[in-house]
Chains A and B, each alone.
Chain A
Amino acid sequence: MIRWPPDLRPLVRRFRSARPFPHLVIDGVLSRDDHARLVADFDREPHVLVENEIYLHLRSSDPPMQPALRAFHAALGTECSTVSTICALPLTRADGSAYVYLPGHYLLPHSDSRQSEGRAIAYAYYVDAPKRGGELELFACARRGGEIVRTRSARKIAPRANRLVLFAVSDLALHQVREVLDGARTSIAGWFYP
């Protein structure tokens, strides 16, 4: 289902050298038909509004319920060895949920690092793009005495349809989903684990 380039070496280099922390953006990872099935099933997927100090958005169950979304989720699980090669980390499984960000929805700056959960690589696959906003923003951090004392926006990644983003999880991998200003941002996102 997921279409990787035959030669992974350029992806390995891009991932490793990306700043402010290792990440990779790959466009057109699904065929047109697979992407269309995902778009159609996304509308039928139940989502609930969830909110806490850092986020406000709609989220599905993990894994999602609709067949095309489940197929994508399963495909990620079977692609662990490819993602392992790209990210130079041993990965064995992936989880994920479907998300909808409507105007005013956001995910504020945070790190995905949770020692107890073992998240190694985060991913986001954009099913459809909003008209404005919803970029994935990566921050560069300066640390003193173990604490982050300065942060700077270092890269904004547009949530284009059929785009996959991978990034390494660490305490310093601060990122956010900027507020959606117009339209709906739909995605499937989660983590790969050792």
Chain B
Amino acid sequence: MSLLWGLLWGLAAVMLIAGGAIIGVWWERKVAGRVQMRYGPQQIGPAGSLQMIADVPKLLFKEDIVPEGADEPLFRYAPLAVFAPAAMSLAVVPFAAGWAPFDSTVGALFFLAVPSISVIGILLSAWASHNTFAALGGLRAAAQMVSYEVPRSLSVLSVIVLAGTLRPTDVMAAWEWWWIPLTFVGFLVFLISSIAEMNRGPFDIPEAESELVAGYFADYSGIRWAVFMMGEYGALIATSLFGAAFFFGGHRLLPGVGGIVAMVVVACAIITVVMWVKWTFPRLRADQLMAFCWKVLTPVALVQLLVAGVVAAWL
């Protein structure tokens, strides 16, 4: 029974991410257009909203190219190893009071640990592509994603310290409104390190199009490339929902069904900020990125954790 349940939820998560990616790509193009004094898509459907519906069949019908010299099985299945962790991390998001698809006692730890599996998928794709650009991108991704795990985990830890539990639904039950100002710095650290974790601009160094063209997925085409993009948007959706829950109270903001709406609205706002940042800033260099992680984000996250710890002990 639980296996069937798990399969159903897996399917629901994939559908959610696929739908979210379709809306997300459209929204991102609209945000980018607004930032850049242009319109973005506007021809297909109202305000270009059906553009992605047209793009998905295009991606499906494209030739599935495996480059010569590539390690074929690894090359074919590496995108799944990037996509699956993003879908899995959605499972522990506390959507409503006392309810998460997979309500684990170590849900917060699960959320922090599982997305880092995607670095294995990235390394596999980089290695399997048999391409110098992909190899460089893969190595950059490995260094970056492993490093940014640290401030990301520390920032979430400050909320966990306040709540005194790792179970996301219990964290939501313990949540108080004044945690928002108290953990806001932690939220910023969480947001920045999540952007780096997702390889999005301005931290998209592993796939830097002006240097490495597309880095680890330079050789991918068609639907396998789309799976990489879905992984990226899936991570974005999971991160924003989780951030909205832990740092902004999620469904506790409004009573009843309004709570879920409030959580989705906050998550959409976070997604929009992430897109806005991407289209505003230039890209950091790999060494500057690491320096920023270890010299700025990690100490700030530690201070935030200390503050949260002192407050939690004092209460």
Partners in one complex: no
B residues whose Cβ falls under 8 Å from a Cβ of A: none
